[in-house]
């Protein structure tokens, strides 16, 4: 374990780095509020999404412990009780999945102390942590998911992007802080993810095949998952594809958007749709390196759909709420991009990448509202144009206002 002087220097350097790269994040006030209600706050999300920075910004007086550091990790694993005794008033424990046994000891500590906001945990592997947390910290922790920055957060931080720039750059804070080339940044991000997080997984024996699989997933962004078709293209079994999809979802690379199921008297598609947790990563995996390429790419509309989906996800997650988002599609090809379920109400949302509004854009919304009336009192059309108005029960808005439509 690091001696107290070197630990202090390391923490001070980490704090200074986080202060310098801190962008205003919408989840900050929510985290502070929950720390007055729960003894433990757990923040999950993709690597480099800003979890550490956010935790330190919310709790600058707490000791910071990086469990990625091998000597610190070893000390935590070998003698958890002694390790935690160094932090009698709690701490920020970064990448807690590296030492999951700590959770059982944290449970004992928080039960004895009965103090709110004692430990702040972060992690990048939701399956491992969900299982560990449910066993050890059930009822003792608030669980939050932090994704990369949203368009709304860009605006608050004075970052101005065109739609194509937003698609190419994605939302990882470091790209903007360090003014990185997004293609190079995502190449390094993806290589690090594959080499660092996947190399020890028994389900993945051939990393090159897995990389091919991830790129093929990008080619299906916004599409309905067909495991058999994907398996044929990759050259593995459909069972393997399903396992790999679960790994990508668990490590915050992919989102599976589930279909909305209800008996509407029609045969509904039951397979999920695939999206990425960061649209910049999806663009990189598609081989898109410039906004000029992006503007003429046949999957640009799918990427815009992914971007808007992420805005809605982030809007809900930043408030500590479940997304409650689905899609609708029946066997006759009737489809609505997104359905937001709010109690008994169903709010249909259509996404268009074009800048010019046409009444054809309203076709699917009109169909769904008739199908579900009176449960769909209002729908939304989100598109790239400036024209905004109410037509019937449909509110037409620009994509930059996406975050404002959900409670």
pLDDT in the model for residue 312: 98
Specify the CATH class of 4-145 in words: alpha beta
Query: Confidence band (pLDDT; 50, 70, 90) for 168?
Result: very high
Sequence ranges of the domains in the chain:
4-145, 151-299, 328-404
pLDDT mean over 282-287: 97
Tokens 């790269």, residue located: 21
Q: Among 187, 186, 167, which residue's Cα sits nearest to residue 175?
A: 186
User: What does the pLDDT average to over 286-290?
Assistant: 97
What angle separates helix 207-218 from helix 238-250, to the nearest 10 degrees?
80
For residue 5, pLDDT over 50 is answered with: no
Which of these, 78, 50, 69, lies nearest to 6 by C-alpha position? 69
pLDDT tens-digit readout, 241-250: 999 999 899 8
Domain 151-299 of CATH type 1.10.10.10: yes
Arithmetic mean of pLDDT over the chain: 90
Pairing state between β 379-383 and 335-342: unpaired
* pLDDT reading at 165 higher than 90: yes
Burial class (CB in 10 A: 0-12, 13-18, 19+), 298: exposed
Is-contact 99 129, C-beta < 8 A? no
CA dist., res. 339 & res. 373, Å (int): 14
Please, which pLDDT band fits residue 326 given cuts at 50, 70 and 90? very high
**β-strands 345-351, 394-398: how paired?**
unpaired
Q: How far apart are the first and last CA of the chain?
A: 46
Q: What is the pTM of this model?
A: 0.90
pLDDT of 188-228, one tens digit each?
999 888 777 776 666 677 888 999 999 999 999 999 999 99
Q: Dump pLDDT digits (tens) for 200-211.
A: 666 677 888 999
């Amino acid at each position: 374990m690091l001696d107290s002087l070197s630990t202090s220097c390391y923490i001070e350097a980490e704090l200074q780095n986080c202060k310098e790269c801190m962008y205003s994040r919408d989840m900050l006030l929510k985290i502070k509020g929950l720390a007055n209600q729960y003894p433990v706050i757990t923040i999950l999300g993709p690597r480099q999404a800003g979890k550490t920075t956010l935790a330190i910004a919310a709790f600058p007086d707490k000791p910071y412990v990086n469990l990625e550091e091998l000597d610190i990790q070893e000390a935590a694993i070998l003698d958890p009780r002694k390790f935690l005794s160094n932090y009698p008033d709690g701490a920020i424990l970064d990448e807690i999945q590296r030492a999951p046994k700590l959770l059982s000891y944290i449970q004992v500590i928080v039960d004895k102390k009965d103090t709110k906001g004692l430990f702040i945990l972060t992690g990048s592997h939701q399956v491992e942590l969900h299982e560990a947390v449910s066993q050890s910290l059930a009822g003792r922790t608030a669980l939050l998911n932090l994704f990369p920055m949203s368009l709304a957060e860009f605006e608050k931080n004075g970052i101005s992007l065109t739609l194509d720039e937003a698609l190419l750059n994605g939302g990882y804070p470091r790209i903007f802080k360090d003014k990185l080339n997004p293609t190079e940044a995502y190449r390094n991000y993806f290589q690090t993810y594959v080499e660092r997080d996947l190399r020890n997984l028994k389900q993945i024996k051939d990393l090159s095949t897995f990389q091919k699989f991830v790129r093929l997933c990008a080619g299906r962004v916004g599409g309905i998952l067909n495991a058999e078709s994907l398996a044929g293209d990759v050259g593995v079994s459909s069972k393997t594809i399903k396992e790999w999809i679960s790994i990508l979802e668990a490590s915050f690379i992919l989102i599976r958007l589930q279909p909305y199921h209800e008996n509407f008297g029609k045969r509904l598609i039951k397979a999920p749709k695939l999206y990425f947790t960061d649209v910049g990563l999806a663009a990189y995996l598609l081989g898109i390196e410039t906004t000029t390429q992006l503007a003429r790419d046949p999957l640009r509309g799918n990427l815009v759909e992914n971007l808007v989906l992420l805005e809605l996800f982030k809007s809900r997650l930043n408030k500590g709420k479940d997304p409650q988002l689905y899609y609708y599609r029946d066997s006759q090809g009737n489809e609505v991009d997104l359905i937001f379920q709010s109690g008994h109400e169903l709010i249909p949302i259509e996404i268009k990448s074009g800048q010019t509004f046409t009444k054809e854009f309203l076709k699917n919304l009109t169909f769904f509202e008739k199908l579900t009336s009176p449960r769909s009192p209002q729908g939304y059309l989100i598109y790239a144009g400036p024209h905004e108005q109410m037509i019937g029960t449909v509110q037409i808005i620009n994509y930059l206002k996406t975050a404002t439509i959900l409670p």
